[in-house]
Structure 1
Amino acid sequence: MIVDKRFLPVADVFFRMFDKPGQGGGAIAAYLHGEPVLDVWAGWADKQRRWAGDTIVLSFSTGKGVASTVLHRLAERGLVSYDAPVAQYWPEFGAAGKENITVRELMSHRAGLHKIRGLVPGRYGLLDSEKVAAALAAAPPDARRLTGPGYHAVTYGNLVAEVAARVSGMPFQDLVRQEIAEPLGAEEFGAAEFWYRVPPEQRHRIARLFPKVNFLPAPWATAGAVMSRMPGVKGLAEAGMADGFDEVMRSPRAHNAVMPGWNGVFTARSLARMYGALANGGALEGDRRLLTEETVEQLLEVQTRRRDYVLGFRPNWRLGYHPAWVATRKQPLRSIGHYGFGGSGAFADPETGLSFAFVTNRLGNAYTTISDGRFPRLGGAVVTAARRS
């Protein structure tokens, strides 16, 4: 464990969140100016097992930030241009009126391809990345993309992974290792857990998620069908409520797939290390460079300030990230990161040189499994500590 004395208040808040088995378990980690200052864990990975330093957990949309960083590494080497049409690298994508949609639009949720309801047949069809990519390539874009972004809750990772694989000629999971884990020296620092397809020999380390994923009083299929016809929440149902997806998310079969929009498995340590580089001009410990300072500056630029027609508010999307929303009066407006279903999340704040990550197996709170106040509270505490240091 690591607890820099300046961050003792953050650790204290964290430990109080996991003092009973019913609260599950979790971990937090932070870097400041490229150096680790916080790495602690607590609670239970399941009913019979305490959370350990090497416990890993499904962190849902938190993985979108990792997938985005892979593509930025490729862009920095000139393999892909943000303002080029996606179809330049993925010709099939140009079907159904999508020939002019750019990589920049795709990475800021303006491709109009948020829908997963009916995208591929079969309950487990969403775990077949090739079928999903083919279906997205053939699909027409939603016309609302011209008026604002629409959060690609599930499909974003497939889109980014396909572009990355096409321009590099490598499977996406190999790219994650080559472009993220290896440059960060992750294995050396015990932070190699950047996984979408989890190796079978490592799966015993995965914490059990609870309670059930369904956050609604009605059965998932019924609620999804009803919501998909209701103005105001229609986009949310289209983007994240395919029939049976609540079961798919909890199935062990999810760890056989590479679906970077939602099935990333990480430790807080690994996420904090990646974002630690982004918070520190693209580098850690001086000589481990992930991105150039110029690229990091591009990542901080807001791509659209329009209302998101899926989420119903203005996320101010960056290139694959959103800003950190934390419980502090002065928000870190130049931050980038991504939160996940259930409450996990990670971000970088270049203004303070801080990165922070939180992962947990306890989805939400007693009222909803979507999320809760733990991450904003911890994030606010760690930003305050960094500003005082």
Structure 2
Amino acid sequence: MTTEVEETVTVRGECAPGFEEVARAFAQNFRDGTQTGAGVSVYLRGREVVNLWGGFADEAAGRPWERDTLAVLASPTKSVAAGALFVLIERGVLELDAPIARYWPEFAAAGKESVTLRMLLAQRTGVVALDSDPITYEKLRTGRPVVEALAAARPEWAPGTAHGYHAMTFGHMVSEVVRRVTGSTVGRFFAEEIAGPLGLECFIGLPEDRLPRLATMVPSKAEVLMDGGAAGQVTELLAALGDPSSLTFRATIGSMSFDADTGDDAKRVRLENASYDGVADAGSLARYFAALIGEVDGVRLAGPALVDQIRREHSAGRCRTMLMDTSWGLGMMLPDGPLYPASAGPLGSFGLAGATGSFACAVPGQQLAFAYVPGGGSHVVDRLDPRARRVAEAVHRSAAAH
């Protein structure tokens, strides 16, 4: 299908009968002027039923968004990294309730000897801040300094007693566990054991030859974020982000140190930052989520028992770092909460949204998975991006009729 949106934007791709509402919702984001370029993909029972794209990968250069345009995912990178743990758990190489120190002995320092993989996947380790030794471009490039800082880190709360979003630390802890048991970093393991068999264009560490396909990200504007937030909640979050003594600041802004050059997406995404800098096209991200909950062309990543663990509530209530109510399964957020409302995913689903506006979700009971991947930052900080929510709601209404 090809749909003209006003005079300047064309939505292209395929949409199976019954999913036309998804195309309309996707096009509406362009009409609203909130979406510069994006892609959306939907899988139902292991088969892709929607793959749409439109707008610009680089508006200034006039470069159009294509089916295979890649974009920075931000937080959904964590869900991709978690896939490596899921595969290794299925293979019996890792155990959910084993202490991380069994695989990474140095991690036992500073009272972390009892921290388990389950706690890590449920955002309950307390190891959320590296502000005393922030992540830099050079540390990402070499890898080891970040790992050493995590091994020495002291938890911000007694592990297992509360939860808080591991915004900057999660992916690096996952990667080191994977490296200790396989010899490969999480990016290399994902590429060889998951992306390869499934034919995914999804990366933690973008190869040089894929750079021409990377969308130029349009950053969020601070004034837009403040205007777009819900009263009260966003004030508390933004105040905390501006307070260097707060755990919110320390676990996010304070845990990284990039200058204008090394903070550039095109430079940083070539490194392995499994917490934030993953890259994918919409079709590949949706296909990955589909393979978590069912068979896709002969490949399934997690069996039914593990999927039940992933979607079971492990953490709920006030997040120590985001200062709002969130709910987590294993490696994935669950509905219902401001960052993942029930309208964007029914009970029993799981997924993750990012500061770039990206969102991916899987509904095991319906064998449904989808991904929305835009080229611009989210317009809000305290709830799911309205662009992603509009598309997600259309996906769920359409799938309900099948």
The offset of 1:45, in angstroms, is 0.7
| Residue aligned with 2:75, SS | helix
Which moved further from structure 2: 354-363 or 325-334? 325-334
How many residues are paired up? Answer: 371
- Match for residue 61 of structure 1? 75
Alignment of 1:387 with 2:400, yes or no, is yes
Amino acid at match of 2:100: V
* 1:202 paired residue among 210, 231, 237: 210
Residue 334 of structure 2 contacts residue 351 of structure 2 at CA under 8 Å; is this kept in 1? yes
Residue 213 of structure 1 contacts residue 246 of structure 1 at CA under 8 Å; is this kept in 2? no
Provide the C-alpha distance between the structure 2 equivalents of 1:249 and 1:224, rounded to a whole number of angstroms: 22
Residue 25 of structure 1 contacts residue 361 of structure 1 at CA under 8 Å; is this kept in 2? yes
Trace 1:253-268 onto structure 2 (pairs within 5 A).
253-268=267-282
Trace 1:223-302 onto structure 2 (pairs within 5 A).
226-229=242-245, 234-242=246-254, 244-245=257-258, 247=260, 248-280=262-294, 283-285=295-297, 287-302=298-313
Amino acid at match of 1:382: V
Which moved further from structure 2: 311-320 or 258-267? 311-320
In structure 2, the CA distance between the partners of 1:204 and 1:126, relative to structure 1 (3 Å rule), is: same
The offset of 1:95, in angstroms, is 0.8
The offset of 1:131, in angstroms, is 1.1
Trace 1:361-380 onto structure 2 (pairs within 5 A).
361-365=375-379, 372-380=385-393
Offset from partner CA, 1:311-342 (integer Å, 9 cap, x none): 22332211100125666659511111111112
- Match for residue 190 of structure 2? 176
In structure 2, the CA distance between the partners of 1:357 and 1:20, relative to structure 1 (3 Å rule), is: same
Provide the C-alpha distance between the structure 2 equivalents of 1:225 and 1:55, rounded to a whole number of angstroms: 32
| Residue aligned with 2:326, SS | coil
Provide the C-alpha distance between the structure 2 equivalents of 1:223 and 1:116, rounded to a whole number of angstroms: 20
The two structures have a TM-score, normalised by structure 2, of: 0.85
- Match for residue 211 of structure 1? 219
In structure 2, the CA distance between the partners of 1:181 and 1:195, relative to structure 1 (3 Å rule), is: same
Provide the C-alpha distance between the structure 2 equivalents of 1:271 and 1:331, rounded to a whole number of angstroms: 16
Provide the C-alpha distance between the structure 2 equivalents of 1:298 and 1:371, rounded to a whole number of angstroms: 24
Residue segments in structure 1 that go unaligned for 5+ positions in a row: 187-191
Alignment of 1:345 with 2:356, yes or no, is no
In structure 2, the CA distance between the partners of 1:388 and 1:256, relative to structure 1 (3 Å rule), is: same
| Residue aligned with 1:17, SS | helix
Offset from partner CA, 1:31-78 (integer Å, 9 cap, x none): 011111000101111122110111101110111111101111001111
Provide the C-alpha distance between the structure 2 equivalents of 1:127 and 1:369, rounded to a whole number of angstroms: 32
The offset of 1:290, in angstroms, is 2.0
| Residue aligned with 1:337, SS | strand
Offset from partner CA, 1:107-145 (integer Å, 9 cap, x none): 111111111323237575455432111100011111254
Alignment of 1:90 with 2:104, yes or no, is yes
Provide the C-alpha distance between the structure 2 equivalents of 1:297 and 1:4, rounded to a whole number of angstroms: 29
| Residue aligned with 1:109, SS | coil
Tell me the C-alpha RMSD between the 2 structures: 2.6
The offset of 1:371, in angstroms, is 5.9
| Residue aligned with 1:148, SS | coil
Residue 344 of structure 2 contacts residue 389 of structure 2 at CA under 8 Å; is this kept in 1? no
Alignment of 1:150 with 2:161, yes or no, is no
Provide the identity percentage: 32
In structure 2, the CA distance between the partners of 1:20 and 1:54, relative to structure 1 (3 Å rule), is: farther
* 2:41 paired residue among 29, 54, 66: 29
Which moved further from structure 2: 9-18 or 29-38? 9-18
Residue segments in structure 2 that go unaligned for 5+ positions in a row: 1-12, 227-237
Provide the C-alpha distance between the structure 1 equivalents of 2:286 and 2:63, rounded to a whole number of angstroms: 24
The offset of 1:249, in angstroms, is 4.5
Residue 209 of structure 1 contacts residue 250 of structure 1 at CA under 8 Å; is this kept in 2? no
Provide the C-alpha distance between the structure 2 equivalents of 1:195 and 1:323, rounded to a whole number of angstroms: 24
